[in-house]
């Protein structure tokens, strides 16, 4: 089967699957108490209403500023720190236990501590997003850098490459696909952190919209907001997948 035909077939299967899921959602909702489950049509109608009135766009923009600041900080620090840990063994051995302890700690449990030390402002909420997104990037970067084949380093050194040149020409290009895998995973975790921060610190953006819908027992609005966040996460992860495949094209040449 040609690649184009394969893609078309995959798209057709995906659309059919989504249609079946929507029909099942509608059927289940018809036999469920509307206090607990909104129907698919009611959810889509409310989502469209939010879009037309600008309520959803305004909330999304407010939340996305928080999300982008936290995620970008996690990407910059996670990638650089991961490369450093991979290259400096003594530093990795000294800090690995502490990193594991923090990673094993439920991030939501740290929110009261962040609240008590930093208050309700923008910075503590961005820190929550950062903590949720940081570790997948860090671990994937470290593992990618450590999987670098020794022959590549030997070739670089044979051309009298210094440490800076090795980072620029060998380590970073080789590790980039692994880091992008971590970033793709961090997107989903960062969205969870964004909602958690807006729940537990100061209500704003999408978190405030979800809380208000729940308090008003407006179930279609609640499901519509959750669906919007889900769609955003799927789109961002799909973009991450495309970038990952693009920068990992050299792996196919190695085989």
The pLDDT assigned to 54 comes to: 86
At residue 207 the predicted structure's pLDDT band, cuts being 50, 70 and 90, is confident
At residue 2 the predicted structure's pLDDT band, cuts being 50, 70 and 90, is low
User: How many CB atoms are closer than 10 A to CB 64?
Assistant: 15
Of residues 249 and 228, which shows the higher confidence score? Answer: 228
At residue 96 the predicted structure's pLDDT band, cuts being 50, 70 and 90, is confident
- Reported as a single tens digit per residue, the pLDDT across 210-246 is 888 888 888 888 888 888 888 888 888 888 888 777 7
At residue 70 the predicted structure's pLDDT band, cuts being 50, 70 and 90, is very high
**pTM of the prediction?**
0.82
The pLDDT assigned to 201 comes to: 73
At residue 133 the predicted structure's pLDDT band, cuts being 50, 70 and 90, is very high
The pLDDT assigned to 203 comes to: 73
In percent, how much of the chain has pLDDT > 90?
13
Least confident range from 42-51, 91-100, 108-117, 171-180: namely: 108-117
Q: Are 194 and 129 in contact (CB under 8 A)?
A: yes
All domains of the chain, ordered by start, with CATH?
Answer: 39-250 (1.10.3720.10)
Rg (CA), the chain: 22
Rounded to whole angstroms, the Cα distance separating 189 from 144 reads: 20
What is the rounded average pLDDT for all residues in the chain? 83
Q: DSSP assignment of 129-157, as one string? A: HHHHHHHHHHHHHHHHHHT--HHHHHHHH
User: What stretch of H or E contains 125?
Assistant: helix 122-146
Ordered alpha helix ranges (H), the chain:
3-30, 40-53, 55-87, 89-104, 107-118, 122-146, 150-158, 163-166, 172-200, 205-215, 219-247, 249-254
User: How many CB atoms are closer than 10 A to CB 232?
Assistant: 17
Rounded to whole angstroms, the Cα distance separating 160 from 154 reads: 10
Task: Output b/e per residue, 173-183; b: 16+ Cβ within 10 A.
Answer: ebbbbbbbbbb
Backbone phi, then psi, for 105, in 5-degree steps?
-75, 130
Is residue 247 predicted with pLDDT exceeding 90?
Answer: no
Is residue 44 predicted with pLDDT exceeding 80?
Answer: yes
Q: Are 83 and 175 in contact (CB under 8 A)?
A: yes
Six token digits for residue 111: 């929110």
Contacting residues for 30 by C-beta, under 8 A, at least 6 apart: 39
User: How many CB atoms are closer than 10 A to CB 94?
Assistant: 11
Q: What angle do CA 131, 133, 139 make, to 5 degrees?
A: 100
Instruction: From 56, 39, 38, select the one nearest 47 (Cα to Cα).
Output: 56
At residue 249 the predicted structure's pLDDT band, cuts being 50, 70 and 90, is low
């Amino acid at each position: 089967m040609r690649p184009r035909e394969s893609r078309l077939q995959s798209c057709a299967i995906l659309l059919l699957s989504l249609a079946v899921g929507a029909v099942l959602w509608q059927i289940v909702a018809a036999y469920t108490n509307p206090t607990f489950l909104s129907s698919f049509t009611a959810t889509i109608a409310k989502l469209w209403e939010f879009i037309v009135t600008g309520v959803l766009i305004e909330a999304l923009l407010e939340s996305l500023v928080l999300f982008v600041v936290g995620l970008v900080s996690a990407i910059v620090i996670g990638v650089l720190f991961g490369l450093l840990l991979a290259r400096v063994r003594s530093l990795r051995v000294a800090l690995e236990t502490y990193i594991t302890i923090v990673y094993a700690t439920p991030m939501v449990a740290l929110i009261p501590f962040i609240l008590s030390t930093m208050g309700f402002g923008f910075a503590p909420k961005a820190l929550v997003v950062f903590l949720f997104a940081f570790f997948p990037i860090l671990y994937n970067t470290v593992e990618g850098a450590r999987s670098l084949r020794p022959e590549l380093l030997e070739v670089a050194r044979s051309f009298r490459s210094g440490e800076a040149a090795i980072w620029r020409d060998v380590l970073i290009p080789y590790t980039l696909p692994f880091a992008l895998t971590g970033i793709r995973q961090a997107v989903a975790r960062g969205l969870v952190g964004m909602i958690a921060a807006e729940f537990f610190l100061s209500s704003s953006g999408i978190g405030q919209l979800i809380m208000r819908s729940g308090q008003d027992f407006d179930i279609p609005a609640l499901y519509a907001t959750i669906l919007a966040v889900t769609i955003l996460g799927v789109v961002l992860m799909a973009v991450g997948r495309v970038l990952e495949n693009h920068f990992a094209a050299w792996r196919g040449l190695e085989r």
